[in-house]
């Protein structure tokens, strides 16, 4: 009987703590919410000192898995390599702009100069954290109040990027880490109009004082892709030539 009462007391305490945390989160302004988020991710100063990042793991797409390598560099430069439909795939941005290789859209590596895919690659390239020094980036934010993502209580934030793109971010009311982010994207394999993409973030781990999600899942229309991280390297040396597309093949 005593054990039963103890268990009940613990459950009540947990529920009360969660309720208090949720209520406190709901009262935050957009600015306060972002401050708590940045602190949860390791602190704004640590992220300001970050120059490069290298992430490796497993990428799942079209029901197949492959190794992936993602490198990021200050200046919104990046390169993601994985395999799609059994052929190499790349999404990237160097100093000259975005480029990609894609089994269906662009089988050979090449520049992406037209929207909507140019804009999507530019959004994907933003580094180190979107909400770090957001005012300097021309980003507008709005507190949207409480919400829920798959049973997880959240406090939500509306974001308008400098180019007018809108996103909704969902933060855990206890940890202030992001649970999910909603945006609109185009996907050439499904529709000719924008569709909602929801990106889920989970399994945050400490890497050199930075909180990094080791599980990222992307749902858009009928498609599901995921990245399971094995290793993160902070501030590795990255040759900028690696971020550029290979030279065109010589004509026969």
Could you identify the residue written with the tokens 């899942």? 217
Mean pLDDT in residue range 141-167: 97
pLDDT of residue 187: 86
Report the topology of domain 2-243.
outer membrane lipoprotein receptor (LolB), chain A (2.50.20)
- Report the predicted TM-score, pTM, of the whole model to 2 decimal places: 0.87
Cα separation, 83 vs 98, in Å, equals: 19
Residue 251 reports pLDDT greater than 90: no
Mean pLDDT in residue range 199-221: 97
pLDDT per residue as tens digits for the range 68-89: 999 999 999 999 999 998 899 9
Residue 10 reports pLDDT greater than 60: no
Cα separation, 100 vs 114, in Å, equals: 12
| 180, HSE (Cβ side, Cα atoms, 13 Å) | 19
Least confident of 106-110, 202-206, 214-218, 226-230: 106-110
Residue 9 reports pLDDT greater than 80: no
Mean pLDDT in residue range 222-238: 95
∠ Cα 240 242 244 (to 5°): 85
pLDDT of residue 17: 41
| Mean pLDDT for all residues in the chain | 90
Rounded to a whole number of angstroms, the distance between the first and last alpha carbons of the chain is 85
| pLDDT level of residue 18 (50, 70, 90 thresholds) | very low
pLDDT of residue 252: 56
């Amino acid at each position: 009987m005593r054990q039963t009462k103890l268990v009940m007391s613990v459950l009540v305490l947990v529920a009360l703590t969660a309720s208090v945390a949720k209520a406190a989160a709901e009262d935050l302004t957009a600015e306060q919410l972002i401050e708590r988020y940045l602190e949860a991710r390791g602190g704004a100063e640590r992220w300001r000192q970050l120059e490069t990042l290298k992430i490796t793991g497993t990428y799942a797409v079209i029901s197949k898995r492959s190794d992936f390598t993602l490198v990021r560099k200050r200046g919104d430069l990046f390169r993601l390599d994985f395999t799609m439909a059994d052929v190499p795939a790349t999404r990237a941005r160097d100093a000259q702009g975005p480029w990609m290789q894609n089994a269906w859209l662009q089988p050979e590596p090449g520049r992406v100069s037209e929207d909507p895919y140019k804009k999507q690659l530019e959004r994907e390239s933003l580094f180190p954290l979107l909400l770090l020094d957001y005012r300097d980036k021309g980003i507008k934010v709005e507190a949207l109040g409480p919400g829920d993502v798959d049973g997880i209580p959240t406090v939500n934030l509306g974001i308008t990027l400098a180019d007018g793109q809108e996103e909704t971010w969902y933060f855990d009311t206890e940890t202030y880490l992001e649970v999910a982010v909603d945006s609109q994207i185009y996907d050439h394999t499904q529709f000719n109009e924008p569709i909602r993409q929801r990106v889920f973030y989970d399994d945050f781990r400490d890497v050199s004082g930075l909180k990094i999600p080791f599980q990222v899942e992307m749902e858009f229309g009928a498609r599901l892709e995921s990245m399971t991280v094995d290793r993160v390297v902070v501030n590795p040396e990255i040759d900028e030539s690696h971020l550029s597309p290979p030279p065109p093949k010589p004509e026969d």
